């Protein structure tokens, strides 16, 4: 057989650096605890025992942006909250991703008024939008898995992982 | 009218020339703007309305002139009664004397009324905005303030709105 078979018999696996890095990034993507409104309840539910996001290595909601990889914006972002959100995003270490959870974070939802950002993508770059008002935990988990798929397709040579 | 309020209303009418209106069992006393602090003091001390349970404003633009009514909802715990004092203000720079010396809780409520309606309170100890960002322009609960800022995105105007939308700087 070929060299791969021989190496496998010796307990060695050959792969690309890119796929190993992307695999490790999806394997322990720690979300930041950032609930803003009712979507946060569904986010907690997705964390808790009946849905259990720790199946996908996301068991730790970090209270500090410096320890987290993923920002789940759960709820509507008011104009006054915008600078805070941006600051937290800037404090997260690279690589970082953002999920806009729910209609309000995605496009303003029912709040088309003076006080609410019409989508959090006006403040931070968003990777995955999850629809629903609020989305069920399954939908959030689907959004997270969609993000994992995106991360697995990331090229190391690309200038930025966006 | 609630019989507990009759004497109070009569005394307020005699002292301040207040106009009285009733709406669905609520009594409104209209007081002239310069005498509002005096009237609130009289309601607090003479008539035992010690609690300012709500303070807000209403914008009647464009039906009425002057356009704003500033509303002081007072409650008397001892008499189990409530009464509403109202002041009509208008003009380019609507202004009232502050009631924060009479009711301490009026401090933040006057800040809210200033923030939302742009009514200034002369002599207020801390006349800043309370809800909106400090650099916000305009007063959002005025009826002539624009309601929202983005058109809903449909298929026919999708690109137009996408191009106009602000995006974050990387």
Q: How far is CA B152 from CA A24, A156, B77, in A?
A: 40, 38, 48
Domain range summary for chain B, segments of one domain joined by +: 3-142
Q: Which residues of A touch B (CB under 8 A)?
A: 79-80, 86, 107-108, 112-115, 118-119, 121-125, 160, 162
The first and second tokens of residue A66, run together, are 């410096």
User: What distance in Å separates residue A86's CA from the closest CA in chain B?
Assistant: 9
Cα gap A15→B25, rounded to integer Å: 80
Residue B29, pLDDT score? 93
Do the interacting molecules here have an ipTM over 0.85? Answer: no
Of all residues in chain A, the percent with pLDDT exceeding 90 is 31
Q: Give the separation between CA A140 and CA A134, rounded to whole angstroms.
A: 10
Nearest by CB to A122, from B145, B147, B165: name it.
B165
List alpha helices for B46-164, DSSP H: 106-117, 158-164
CB burial of B126-140 (b: ≥16 within 10 Å; e: otherwise) equals: eeeeeebeeeeeebb
Q: Residue B49 and residue B73: Cα distance in Å, rounded? A: 10
B3-142: what fold? Beta Polymerase; domain 2 (3.30.460)
Residues B32-61: pLDDT tens digits?
999 999 999 999 999 999 999 999 999 998
**Closest to B44 measured CA to CA, from B66, B2, B72, B23:** B72
Residue A62 has pLDDT above 80, yes or no: yes
User: Pairing state of beta strands B81-89 and B26-30?
Assistant: parallel
> For every one of its 170 residues, what pLDDT tens digit does chain B have, with 9 covering 90 and above?
778 888 899 998 998 888 899 999 899 999 999 999 999 999 999 999 999 999 999 999 889 888 999 999 999 999 999 999 999 998 888 999 999 999 999 999 999 999 999 999 999 999 999 998 888 888 989 988 887 667 777 888 888 887 877 777 65
Q: What pTM did the predictor assign?
A: 0.78
Nearest CA in chain B to A123: B168
Structure confidence at residue B60 (pLDDT): 92
| Closest CA–CA distance from residue A111 to any residue of chain B (Å) | 9
Of A111-115, A158-162, B34-38, B94-98, which gets the smallest average pLDDT?
A158-162
Which residue in the set A114, A122, A162 is minimally distant from B148, CB to CB? Answer: A114
What confidence category does residue A155 fall into, taking pLDDT thresholds of 50, 70 and 90?
confident
Q: Which of B132, B140, B150 sits opposite A112 (nearest CB)?
A: B150
> Residue B102: what pLDDT?
93
């Amino acid at each position: 057989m070929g060299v791969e078979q021989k190496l496998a018999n010796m307990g060695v696996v050959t792969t690309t650096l890119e796929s190993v890095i992307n695999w490790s990034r999806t394997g322990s993507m720690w979300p930041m605890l950032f609930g803003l409104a009712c979507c946060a309840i569904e986010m907690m539910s997705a964390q808790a025992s009946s849905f259990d996001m720790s199946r996908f290595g996301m068991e730790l909601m970090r209270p500090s942006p410096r320890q987290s990889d993923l920002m789940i914006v759960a709820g509507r972002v008011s104009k006054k909250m915008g600078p805070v959100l941006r600051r937290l995003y800037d404090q997260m270490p690279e690589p970082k991703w953002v999920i806009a959870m729910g209609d309000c974070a995605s496009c303003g939802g029912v709040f088309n008024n003076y006080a609410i950002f019409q989508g959090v993508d006006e403040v931070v770059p968003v990777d995955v939008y999850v629809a629903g008002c609020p989305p069920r935990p399954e939908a959030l988990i689907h959004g997270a898995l969609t993000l994992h798929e995106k991360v697995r397709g990331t090229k190391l040579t690309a200038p930025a992982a966006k | 009218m609630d019989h507990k309020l009759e004497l109070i209303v009569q005394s307020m009418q005699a002292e301040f020339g207040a106009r009285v209106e009733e709406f669905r069992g609520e009594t409104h006393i209209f007081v002239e703007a310069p005498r509002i602090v005096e009237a609130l003091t009289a309601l607090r001390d003479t008539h035992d309305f010690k609690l300012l349970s709500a303070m807000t404003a209403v914008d009647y633009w464009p039906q009425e002139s002057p356009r704003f009514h500033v509303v002081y909802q007072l409650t008397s715990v001892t008499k189990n009664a409530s009464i509403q004092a109202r002041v009509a203000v208008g003009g380019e720079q609507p202004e009232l004397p502050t009631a924060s010396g009479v009711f301490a809780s009026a401090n933040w409520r006057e800040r809210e009324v200033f923030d939302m309606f742009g009514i200034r309170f002369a002599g207020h100890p801390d006349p800043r905005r309370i809800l909106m960002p400090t650099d916000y322009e305009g007063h959002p609960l005025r009826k002539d303030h624009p309601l929202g800022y983005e058109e809903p995105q449909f298929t026919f105007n999708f690109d137009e709105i996408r191009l106009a939308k602000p995006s974050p700087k990387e």
